[in-house]
């Protein structure tokens, strides 16, 4: 069954058939056919000697024979179909050829298909395609059309998508990816997301990770917070919070935790701990005056002490202020009752005592240690009589005196007390 030709080809074939039916020569000589007879006007001017001559004896005179040297052909005809490439598929012919009773090879009066390229026997039909692969990388782009083909679409054409080529003019790239410019090559980019046409992987200089806080320094890429700061690098820190552009971890001198907090001077690596000290003028380890706060390396600064309260900061032998309750200047074991404070070496020196012993009435005479109320004993009978006197004495009562003062007659040693007192003394004795 013949296919109905498109309108343009049908019009050309109709013209060719009309020319052939009228017996007229074509308006122009085909490239693959003998030239048609010369112009009729020229024949009128000079009679053609070939008129009536039939050189090839095919029954057609030379003036009408399109090739009087070949008895098999004699007339100009345009067969409607041609198969120039011999692929068995014809296309519509509009060129007249010199032929006889049958169409010459490559021409036919019967159509077989509709060859879209009669110069290439490998292609003969228009096939639709929806995708193209111009650069031959195996990845297509959406582009519909029709191509002259054989049994299948040729390379570079496809009916179904094979990926989505981002650059069909470059076989080295085909995949659309996005990334961020990585100026310092640390794997962390910055700026806006950039669309790229690649092999599927991001090219050098780009990364899928965004947020580099400094894209000129490969050692840092993220903002990290810190709670402690060590500006002088002595490993002792101060509580100072903030954030900075860092790498995987905070750089030295910054931390979120620390075992050595409270640096008293973070500008001086030689000191880090502070405590109260007292001026120690005599170097005995005990200071005086009001305390001061010193920033140190952990040791007590020279000229200072951790302990205050030195009662005499000019004498290293004395530092402790002690309270005394008595004085035994004569060494008789009895103290003079007086209290006070004494700057000492840690204990009360003689003649000071912490406890009062007795009440020494004369601390300059060891023979006298106490006050006693005495009575004159003129008759020496051991009992005196008023008036009483208070004397500073020792353990023994001095001669002529007595602690008893009830003698009725101090001039008579045989009389000492009244009868009532004598009865009272007897009662007490019993």
- Domain ranges, ordered by start, for the chain: 1-121, 128-173, 178-220, 224-268, 272-318, 323-429
pLDDT at residue 12, rounded to an integer: 38
pLDDT at residue 366, rounded to an integer: 93
Task: Compute CA distances 413 → 374, 376, 379, 381, 425, whole Å.
Answer: 18, 13, 5, 5, 18
Q: Which parts of the chain register pLDDT below 50? A: 1-35, 37-46
Report how far residue 185's alpha carbon sits from residue 193's, in angstroms, rounded to the nearest whole number.
Answer: 16
Model confidence, pTM: 0.51
How confident is the model over 384-419, as pLDDT tens digits? 999 999 999 998 999 999 999 998 988 888 877 655
pLDDT at residue 119, rounded to an integer: 87
How confident is the model over 368-382, as pLDDT tens digits? 999 999 999 999 999
How confident is the model over 236-254, as pLDDT tens digits? 999 999 999 999 999 999 9
Hey, which bits of 280-426 come out as E strands?
Answer: 292-296, 304-305, 320-327, 336-344, 352-353, 370-376, 389-393, 401-402
pLDDT at residue 424, rounded to an integer: 56
Task: Compute CA distances 50 → 38, 45, 75, 174, whole Å.
Answer: 12, 15, 16, 71
**Nearest-CA neighbor of 87 among 36, 124, 40?**
124
């Amino acid at each position: 069954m013949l296919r109905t030709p498109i309108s343009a080809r049908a019009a050309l074939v109709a013209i060719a058939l009309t020319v052939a039916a009228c017996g007229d020569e074509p308006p122009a000589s085909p490239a693959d056919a003998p030239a048609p007879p010369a112009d009729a006007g020229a024949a009128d001017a000079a009679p053609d000697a070939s008129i009536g001559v039939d050189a090839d004896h095919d029954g057609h005179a030379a003036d009408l024979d399109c090739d009087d040297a070949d008895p098999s052909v004699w007339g100009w005809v345009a067969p409607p179909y041609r198969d120039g490439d011999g692929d068995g598929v014809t296309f519509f012919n509009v060129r007249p050829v010199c032929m006889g009773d049958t169409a010459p090879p490559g021409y036919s009066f019967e159509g077989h298909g509709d060859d879209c390229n009669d110069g290439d026997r490998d292609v003969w039909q228009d096939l639709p395609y929806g995708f193209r692969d111009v650069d031959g990388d195996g990845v297509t782009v959406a582009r519909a059309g029709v191509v002259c083909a054989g049994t299948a679409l040729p390379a570079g054409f496809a009916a179904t998508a094979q990926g989505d080529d981002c650059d069909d003019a470059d076989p080295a790239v085909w995949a659309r990816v996005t990334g961020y410019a990585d100026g310092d090559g640390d794997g962390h980019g910055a700026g806006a997301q950039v669309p790229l046409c690649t092999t599927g992987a991001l090219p050098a200089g780009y990364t899928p990770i965004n947020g580099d806080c400094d894209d000129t320094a490969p050692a840092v890429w993220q903002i990290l917070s810190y709670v402690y700061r060590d500006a002088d690098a002595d490993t002792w820190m101060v509580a100072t919070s903030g954030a900075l552009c860092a790498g995987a971890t905070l750089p030295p001198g910054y931390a979120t935790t620390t075992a050595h907090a409270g640096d008293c001077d973070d500008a001086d690596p030689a000191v880090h701990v502070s405590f109260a000290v007292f001026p120690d003028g005599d170097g005995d380890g005990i200071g005086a005056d009001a305390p001061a706060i010193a920033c140190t390396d952990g040791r007590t600064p020279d000229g200072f002490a951790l302990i205050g309260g030195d009662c005499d900061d000019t004498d290293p032998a004395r530092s402790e202020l002690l309270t005394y309750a008595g004085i035994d200047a004569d060494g008789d074991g009895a103290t003079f009752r007086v209290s006070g404070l004494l700057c000492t070496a840690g204990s009360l020196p003689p003649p000071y005592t912490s406890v009062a012993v007795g009440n020494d009435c004369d601390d300059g005479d060891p023979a006298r240690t106490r006050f006693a109320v005495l009575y004159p004993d003129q008759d020496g009978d051991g009992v005196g009589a008023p008036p009483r006197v208070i004397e500073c004495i020792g353990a023994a009562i001095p001669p002529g005196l007595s602690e008893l003062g009830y003698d009725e007659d101090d001039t008579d040693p045989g009389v000492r007390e009244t009868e009532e007192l004598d009865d009272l003394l007897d009662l007490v004795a019993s």
